[in-house]
Structure 1
């Protein structure tokens, strides 16, 4: 039995604060344009980062949107209630984000030429980030102890279900050159190179000066200081930054400070079992 904070959608738990049957139906019938760009992530994999990067790449480095428009309005979620309210304000090429698996994308998406940037992150770091997010987000269930949350995460009793299912759905997507896979870790290690990859994929042909400018303004420190990006304007009754800041660390490998040996063995065993026989390899070792 799930709490009243969630609705179920094709077997996935979604927060009622951000989703409704109407918003999900709106997403299913959303008229995708050929010029649309979707940043697709499993939750806590770099979504907010892409909401910062994409507008700057698409508009040639103009900083206006990241300083004047809240991130969830400049690059809205496809499945959130808010999209219907602001969709008419979006200008082409439109940038959107989504946590939806491939099979739940709008029908018009499959018939379009819209592009996808799929951001992958080490699931052990997703686990840790999600644990802290559940602590500070009043619209999500209390995560319980960290050990209890490990089980919840592995069993898919968290928003948008199992990480393995999400990754598999997009790795098997038949999108040819319409999809770019990039990792959170490579963005942490070398953001300018990652932005160049995104720019080239979207045929934006940005100069090195613009690439460096975008990287500077999309650093973790810059986003954490930007009220249009750090969610500090969200009322405390929804997100309590005293319990944990929304933008917490922005690093790779924080799982090493949280997962004990027994938890690590359990985690790796389940993930490896669920990915057994897949014809793709992960960009990081889970051990």
Structure 2
């Protein structure tokens, strides 16, 4: 089943996004200097980062994350349902988006708003995307991982090519208001990443507050928090039980790729991501 729309050459989920609305967002939505934006390609750990930032804002107090749905705490810029909430909210806003660089609100590029861009090994993004999208009504359903693998390499998936999305946003990486984060470091050393985010946002946590952020942003706690695990999503948007948090483990792609697929992916990655400095992608 397909419910995709195309805008600016990018397939977008038609159940939550409208073509005319995206055009309006791109040209007219005002990003404010005091805003913080969480950006990523789908299935890169977006909701985990939102949860972490929300907990940093409350100094580890879980009351907010346990009482308000995650999409209300950090509304999606491209979702029409969020628009009224976003424009009427006063003071600093926490915003989320998967939009590619060329469709993002133009106002951002002349603002001082802070952006965190989260990347993840695209092989894991692919596998996670397959298990997520094929249970939803907001995308054409791939019959197999082999089919989805081919779609992913060609960019024929929701939000388009991972390679193009990542290359374009990484052009911002030297700017002071841009923080590049990766899923693998968040998994391996969450404490250091929380401190890095705090430095970027100008926040300070006491040791016990940092411990609370670590505790309540952990995979297991998030998986059990109904405000964060997407169990509140209406049934008419999914065909089966929606599993937002499946495994959360780096390297799961090795359990699913054939040798030929791994080699094919490596070849495309080297071609598409040529020119970036060594060490930028921790999984390579």
Tell me, yes or no, if structure 1 residue 172 matches structure 2 residue 163: no
Shift of 1:55: 1.8
Secondary structure, in 3 states, of the residue corresponding to 2:269?
helix
For structure 1, the residue ranges without an aligned partner over 5 or more in a row are none
Alignment CA distance shift 1:66-1:91 (3 Å): farther
For structure 1, which segment, 56-65 or 6-15, has the greater mean C-alpha deviation from structure 2 after superposition? 56-65
Matched residue, 1:23: 21
SS of equivalent to 2:128: helix
CA contact (8 A) 1:133 1:246 kept: yes
Structure 2: 5+ residue runs without aligned partners?
none
Residue 11 of structure 2: aligned partner: 13
Alignment CA distance shift 1:179-1:78 (3 Å): same
- Cα deviation, 1:187-224, whole Å, max 9, x if unaligned, reads 11121221111011100112222111011001011111
Please list every run of at least 4 consecutive aligned residues from structure 1 whose deviation after the TM superposition is greater than 3 angstroms. 88-91, 277-282
- Cα 1:240–1:187 shift into 2, 3 Å: farther
Give, in whole Å, the separation in 2 of the partners of 1:46 and 1:241. 21
**Residues 93-141 of structure 1 deviation map (CA, whole Å, 9 limit, x = unaligned):** 2111111122322121111100111111000000000000112112211
For residue 216 of structure 1, give the secondary structure of its aligned residue in structure 2.
helix
Distance of 1:155 and 1:22 partners within structure 2: 26
Offset, 1:233: 1.4
CA contact (8 A) 2:51 2:65 kept: yes
Cα distance change, pair 104–43 in 1 and its aligned pair in 2 (3 A)? same
Q: TM-score, normalised by structure 2?
A: 0.93
> Does residue 249 of structure 1 match 2:247?
yes
After superposition, where does 1:89-104 map in structure 2 within 5 Å? 90-104=89-103
How much has 1:54 moved relative to structure 2? Answer: 1.6
After TM superposition, list the pairs within 5 Å mapping 1:48-67 onto structure 2: 48-67=47-66
Partner of 2:201: 202
What SS is found at the alignment partner of 1:129? helix
Match of 1:260 among 258, 261, 276: 258
CA distance in 2: counterparts of 1:72 and 1:280, whole angstroms: 35
1:283 alignment partner, SS class:
coil
Q: Paired residues, what number?
A: 283
Counterpart in the other structure of 1:271: 269
Matches within 5 A, 1:163-242: 163-173=162-172, 176-242=175-241
Any idea what the Cα deviations from partners look like across 1:54-77, whole Å, max 9, x if unmatched?
222223333232111111111011
Q: What TM-score comes out, normalization by structure 1 length? A: 0.92
CA distance in 1, matches of 2:218, 2:89: 25
- What CA RMSD, in Å, does the superposition of the two structures yield over aligned residues? 1.8
